């Protein structure tokens, strides 16, 4: 009797390895596609020549770098101050309207920095309600009769950006305060420590990793901002790249400045990832239950002070922009049928929809490859693809335009030589460049949500489906995708809304006569016609409220 060799297991092993190799190769291709803008900037910075380098190093760079560092430090400090204090008050203390402020303090996330800048400019302007009321109250006749701070300064930029970015620190600190529970604080109190001593000696040191995570996000958003700093007249590195590229026509010098900005962004990423590693350790050591926390009851002037402290950032970061822009919009309801507004809305929906689709698709492939392949190439590709969010929009736009323009010119030259026809700007002169750039920028957001969804699904689901005779594809379609639907929808929604608000890359890459809601607002504000931009601005804010409300509801379930 002869025994036939069993070849089926070997065939299966070979098929599994082929699937893993294919997924790894696909993830590497995605990572290289995402990394292309950064590689293009590095190449241009090295080959762009050094004719303008002395002027760049002597005049442009010191001033722009100094202003950028000043903006980042001051915005980070005040955002941290607001975020930490309000997170502690709403977590450790009990006072009237506490539950309301728990949710309301998240609302400034819905306001892009450039919209807040436009609203503050109108609110604090000579003809605005504040100075008008001041003149009426004291009988002043002209601006020479009194002193009033100028919003179009570094201080104004810090005020605006801190007012809309502090929720990043508020959310991370509040989550950490909630996870800590009452154990460590109760032990400190039994040893005679008061509330403030417990905060400074126990709770604040334990929350340092969470503060670092939120602070790095605040600084990355400040680094990416162009609408706020341009409107308020603050010459940062981001604006210097924009000015060098468009106004001075020097792509090489702009790329060299962009490399410096990339180094700064890489430093912020390193800080954020180091903080996350420490945060996992700190969170893993907590033992108390959130709902066991005993809050400090505030009464009298202490309760009034807590209410005022929590109300002030909500008023600055949300109420003032909404009231100013809402008042303008009420007087321009006839603009709802304006052709430019309708066209910009449709363009925005198209760009945001396509960006969300591509970002979710690529994010899913990267996450699935990391789950199935588990190879060094798949893990490294996931990390490389997640770097796009840290690349400022102006830098990303520069990196996208270079290879796209080179491809368009090469193709046009070939078609002219062979067939005598011109193909024009197929990539760099269409909305495709914008969709590509925004997909690169927000891919990490989609991949993060989908990766979190995969982590909640046991690997045994895949194995069980395979043992029941399903192929890898069938298991994916019938088992994994239905369970991943919430994560996929959340990822798509977040990318869609962030694309609605994005300005930096869009304003630089848009073709002629191509407007999104954000660029329409920017154009009107640049012409001192913020009133005409109010309806488009409110649409952006209403869209931004969706994730803010979702975050608020998740916080409510935890308190």
- Give the pLDDT confidence of 184-201 residue by residue, as tens digits: 666 666 655 666 666 766
pLDDT in the model for residue 145: 84
Helices and strands per DSSP (H, E), number in the chain = 26, 2
pLDDT in the model for residue 477: 72
- Give the pLDDT confidence of 82-116 residue by residue, as tens digits: 999 999 899 888 999 999 999 899 999 889 999 99
- Lowest average pLDDT, out of 238-242, 282-286, 435-439, 526-530, goes to 282-286
pLDDT in the model for residue 293: 55
Model confidence at 554, pLDDT cuts 50, 70, 90, reads: low
pLDDT over 70 at 207, yes or no: yes
Distance CA 67, CA 60 (A): 11
| Other C-beta atoms lying within 10 Å of the C-beta of residue 16 | 14
| Structure letter (DSSP) for residue 126 | T
Average pLDDT, rounded, for the chain? 81
- Give the pLDDT confidence of 21-60 residue by residue, as tens digits: 677 778 888 888 888 888 888 888 887 666 666 767 777 7
Domains of the chain listed by start with CATH number: 19-43+333-526 (1.10.3720.10), 67-236+287-330+533-559 (1.10.3720.10)
Cα angle 558, 110, 122; round to 5: 140
**Which residues is 296 bridged to in the sheet?**
93
- Give the pLDDT confidence of 359-375 residue by residue, as tens digits: 999 988 888 887 776 66
Q: Is 99 left (phi over 0), alpha (psi -120 to 50) or beta?
A: alpha
State mean pLDDT over 261-284. Answer: 64
Class of residue 339 by CB neighbours under 10 A (exposed 0-12, middle 13-18, buried 19+): exposed
Here the tokens at position 193 are: 């420590």
pLDDT in the model for residue 43: 87
**Which residues is 94 bridged to in the sheet?**
297
User: Which residues in 496-520 are b (16+ Cβ under 10 Å) and which e?
Assistant: bbbbbbbbbbbbbbbeeebbbbbbb
pLDDT in the model for residue 194: 65
Distance CA 100, CA 195 (A): 23
Greatest mean pLDDT among 207-211, 529-533, 545-549 lies in 529-533
Please provide residue 236's backbone torsions phi and psi, each rounded to the nearest 5 degrees.
Answer: -90, 180
Distance CA 30, CA 387 (A): 12
| Structure letter (DSSP) for residue 294 | P
Distance CA 191, CA 177 (A): 20
Helix (H, G, I), strand (E, B) or coil at 291: helix
Please provide residue 516's backbone torsions phi and psi, each rounded to the nearest 5 degrees.
Answer: -100, 175
| Structure letter (DSSP) for residue 127 | T
pTM for this predicted structure: 0.84
Instruction: Give kind and range of the element (H or E) at residue 93.
Output: strand 93-94
Nearest to 84 by CA among 195, 182, 196, 210: 210
pLDDT in the model for residue 555: 61
Q: H/E/C letters for each residue in 64-75?
A: HHHHHHHHHHHH
- Give the pLDDT confidence of 447-458 residue by residue, as tens digits: 887 887 777 776
pLDDT over 50 at 2, yes or no: no
* Cα dihedral sign, 237-240-245-250: negative
Distance CA 385, CA 363 (A): 9
Distance CA 81, CA 214 (A): 12
Instruction: Give kind and range of the element (H or E) at residue 124.
Output: none
Instruction: Give kind and range of the element (H or E) at residue 296.
Output: strand 296-297
Cα angle 278, 162, 490; round to 5: 60
Whether the CB-CB separation of 269 and 224 falls below 8 Å is answered with no
In Å, what is the CA distance from 445 to each residue of 62, 486, 495, 555?
A: 33, 15, 7, 20
State mean pLDDT over 231-249. Answer: 83
Return the higher-pLDDT residue of 312 and 269.
Answer: 312
pLDDT in the model for residue 309: 95
* Residue 233: partners with Cβ closer than 8 Å, 6 or more residues away: 152, 153
With a pLDDT cut of 90, the percent of the chain lying above it is 26
Distance CA 478, CA 348 (A): 33
pLDDT over 50 at 290, yes or no: no
With a pLDDT cut of 70, the percent of the chain lying above it is 81
Helix (H, G, I), strand (E, B) or coil at 519: helix
Q: H/E/C letters for each residue in 21-60?
A: HHHHHHHHHHHHHHHHHHHHHHHHHHHCCCCCHHHHHHHH
pLDDT in the model for residue 451: 80
Whether the CB-CB separation of 441 and 396 falls below 8 Å is answered with yes
pLDDT in the model for residue 5: 47
Whether the CB-CB separation of 430 and 511 falls below 8 Å is answered with yes
pLDDT over 80 at 476, yes or no: no
């Amino acid at each position: 009797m002869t025994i036939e060799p069993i070849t089926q297991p070997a065939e299966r092993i070979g098929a599994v390895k082929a699937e893993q190799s294919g997924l790894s190769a696909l993830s590497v291709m995605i990572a290289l596609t995402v990394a292309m803008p950064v590689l293009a900037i590095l190449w241009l910075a090295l080959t762009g020549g050094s004719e303008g380098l002395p002027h760049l190093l002597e005049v442009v760079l010191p001033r722009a770098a100094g202003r950028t560092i000043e903006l980042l430090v001051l915005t980070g400090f005040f955002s941290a101050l607001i975020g930490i204090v309000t997170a502690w008050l709403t977590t450790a203390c009990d006072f009237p309207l506490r539950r309301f402020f728990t949710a309301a303090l998240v609302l400034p996330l819905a306001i892009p920095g450039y919209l807040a800048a436009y609203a503050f400019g109108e609110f604090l302007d000579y003809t605005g309600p504040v100075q008008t009321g001041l003149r009426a109250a004291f009988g002043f006749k002209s601006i020479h009769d009194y002193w009033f701070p100028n919003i179009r300064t570094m201080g104004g930029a810090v005020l605006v950006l801190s007012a809309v970015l502090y929720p990043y620190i508020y959310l991370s600190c509040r989550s950490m305060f909630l996870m800590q529970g009452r154990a460590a604080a109760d032990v400190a109190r039994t040893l005679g420590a008061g509330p403030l001593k417990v905060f400074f000696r126990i709770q604040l040191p334990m929350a340092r990793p969470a503060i670092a995570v939120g602070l790095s996000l605040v600084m990355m958003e400040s680094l990416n901002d162009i609408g706020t700093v341009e409107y308020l007249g603050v010459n940062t590195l981001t604006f210097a790249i924009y000015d060098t590229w468009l106004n001075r026509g020097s792509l090489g010098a702009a790329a060299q400045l962009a490399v410096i900005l990339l180094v700064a962004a890489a430093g912020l990423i390193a800080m954020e990832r180091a903080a996350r590693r420490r945060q996992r350790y700190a969170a893993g050591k907590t033992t108390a239950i959130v709902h066991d926390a005993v809050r400090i009851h505030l009464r009298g002037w202490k309760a009034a002070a807590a209410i005022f402290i929590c109300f002030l950032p909500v008023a600055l970061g949300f109420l003032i922009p909404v009231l100013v822009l809402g008042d303008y919009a009420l007087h321009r309801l006839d603009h709802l049928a304006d052709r430019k507004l309708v066209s910009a809305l449709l363009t925005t929906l198209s760009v945001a929809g396509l960006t969300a689709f591509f970002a979710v698709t690529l994010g899913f492939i990267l996450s699935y490859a990391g789950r199935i392949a588990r190879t060094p190439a798949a893990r490294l590709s996931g990390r490389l693809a997640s770097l796009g969010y840290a690349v400022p929009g102006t830098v990303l736009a520069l990196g996208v335009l270079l290879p796209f323009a080179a491809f368009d010119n090469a193709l046009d030259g070939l078609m002219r030589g062979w067939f005598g026809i011109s193909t024009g700007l197929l990539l760099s002169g269409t909305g495709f460049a914008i969709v590509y750039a925004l997909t690169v920028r927000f891919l990490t957001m989609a991949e993060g949500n989908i990766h979190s969804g995969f982590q909640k699904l046991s690997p045994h689901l895949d194995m069980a489906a395979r043992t029941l005779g399903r192929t890898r594809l069938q298991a994916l379609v019938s088992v994994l995708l239905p369970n991943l639907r919430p994560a996929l929808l959340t990822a798509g929604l977040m990318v869609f809304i962030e694309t609605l608000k994005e300005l930096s890359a869009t304003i630089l890459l848009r073709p002629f006569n191509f407007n999104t809601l954000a660029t329409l607002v920017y154009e009107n504000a640049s012409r001192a016609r913020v009133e005409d931009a109010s309806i488009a601005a409110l649409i952006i804010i209403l869209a931004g409220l969706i994730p803010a409300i979702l975050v608020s509801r998740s916080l409510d379930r935890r308190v």
